[in-house]
């Protein structure tokens, strides 16, 4: 959390207000949020740079700055990027604000993170994000690619879906929701899925992510978009966080177990356990 749909929603809400603006300066209030730099060096590296584009890869946000540098933001568990327009500047930064970027028009972008696991990093362009798997909503990602990648992997399907090197962008919520839609038990061995199941999983992953973006993400812990608004997809979850509630399809109570050390929700009837 936040996963692909939340990061994509943040990107879409920040794009129109940030792209084309220049970062006037930056104050780091908690040096720990910087991956590999001292606060002064980081501030020097971003100040005076124009934000030329804002893209996403998996759960990472990439601010493409003039001069061939990229500010890579990984929100991890509770990171937020909140934009304050010039006419509505907060008197003092909210609690847990660890970085403040001031823009040339007087607006500010605040990095807020209660759990402090998120990280900011400056990388030379193109940013090095090695080791990430395919982008699930990309046009080049296909059932054939998913099938080929699954066939080479053992282990349980849920654990694999959480592995960013296998597929970029899914986390605990959307992995559970995709497996439910595909009718696949989270503990099924990845290399034993039938061709039909792989196809169902492929469509389930893409559909649930696209739908969650349409509803501007899932707000369960503290996720808000770039304008500080919560998402609405938490109202449309079928299994995640719903242990004991009836399955929307068959009314069997939703079960909760642990897979890959994460709380995992599924319907015992629609997603039969492997033999």
Comparing CB distances to Zn ion, the nearer of 172 and 238 is 238
Comparing CB distances to Zn ion, the nearer of 66 and 252 is 252
2 carries an active-site annotation: yes
245 carries an active-site annotation: no
Please name which of 130, 124, 99 lies closest in space to residue 113, comparing C-alpha atoms. 99
H or E segment to which residue 99 belongs: strand 97-103
250 is a site residue for Zn ion (CB under 5 A): yes
Residue where the block lists tokens 């809400």 = 13
Comparing CB distances to Zn ion, the nearer of 221 and 250 is 250
Pick the stretch among 121-129, 186-194, 227-235, 244-252 that binds Zn ion (CB under 5 A): 244-252
Pick the stretch among 91-99, 134-142, 152-160, 251-259 that binds Zn ion (CB under 5 A): 251-259
**57, 69, 76, 262: the active-site residue:** 262
Pick the stretch among 70-78, 81-89, 150-158, 240-248 that binds Zn ion (CB under 5 A): 240-248
The DSSP annotation for 198-224 comes to: HHHHHHHHHHHHHHHHHTT---SSS--
Shortest approach of Zn ion to residue 197 CB, angstroms?
Answer: 16
273 is a site residue for Zn ion (CB under 5 A): no
112 is a site residue for Zn ion (CB under 5 A): no
- Interface with Zn ion: number of residues (CB under 5 A): 7
267 is a site residue for Zn ion (CB under 5 A): yes
269 is a site residue for Zn ion (CB under 5 A): yes
182 is a site residue for Zn ion (CB under 5 A): no
6 carries an active-site annotation: no
85 φ, ψ (degrees, to nearest 5):
-65, 160
Pick the stretch among 20-28, 123-131, 220-228, 245-253 that binds Zn ion (CB under 5 A): 245-253
Shortest approach of Zn ion to residue 268 CB, angstroms?
Answer: 8
Which of 204, 247, 265, 266 forms a contact with Zn ion (CB under 5 A)? 247
116 carries an active-site annotation: no
Shortest approach of Zn ion to residue 5 CB, angstroms?
Answer: 23
Residue where the block lists tokens 């959307």 = 174
Write out the residues near Zn ion by the rule CB under 5 A. 247, 249-250, 252, 267, 269-270
Catalytic residues: 2-3, 59, 262
């Amino acid at each position: 959390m936040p996963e692909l749909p939340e990061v994509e929603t943040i990107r879409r809400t920040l794009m129109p207000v940030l792209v084309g603006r220049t970062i006037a300066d930056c104050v780091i209030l908690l040096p720990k949020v910087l991956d590999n730099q001292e606060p002064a060096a980081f501030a020097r590296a971003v100040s005076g740079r124009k934000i030329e584009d804002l893209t996403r890869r998996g759960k990472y946000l990439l601010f493409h700055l003039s001069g061939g540098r990229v500010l890579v933001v990984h929100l991890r568990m509770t990171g937020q990027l909140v934009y304050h327009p010039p006419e509505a500047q907060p008197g003092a930064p909210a609690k847990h604000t660890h970085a403040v970027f001031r823009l040339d028009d007087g607006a500010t972008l605040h990095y807020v993170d209660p759990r402090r696991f998120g990280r900011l990093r400056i990388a030379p362009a193109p940013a090095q994000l090695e080791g990430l798997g395919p982008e699930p909503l990309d046009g080049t990602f296909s059932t054939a690619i998913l099938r080929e990648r699954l066939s080479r992997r053992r282990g349980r399907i849920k654990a694999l879906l959480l592995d960013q090197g296998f597929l970029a962008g899914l986390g605990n919520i959307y992995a559970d929701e995709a497996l439910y839609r595909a009718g696949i038990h989270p503990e099924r061995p990845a290399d034993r899925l039938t061709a039909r199941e792989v196809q169902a999983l492929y469509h389930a992953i893409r559909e649930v992510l696209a739908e969650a973006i349409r509803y501007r993400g899932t707000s369960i812990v503290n996720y808000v978009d770039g304008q500080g608004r919560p998402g609405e997809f938490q109202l449309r979850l079928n299994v995640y966080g719903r242990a004991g509630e009836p399955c929307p399809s068959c009314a069997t109570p939703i079960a909760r177990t642990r897979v890959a050390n994460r709380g995992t929700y599924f319907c015992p009837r629609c997603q039969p356990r492997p033999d």
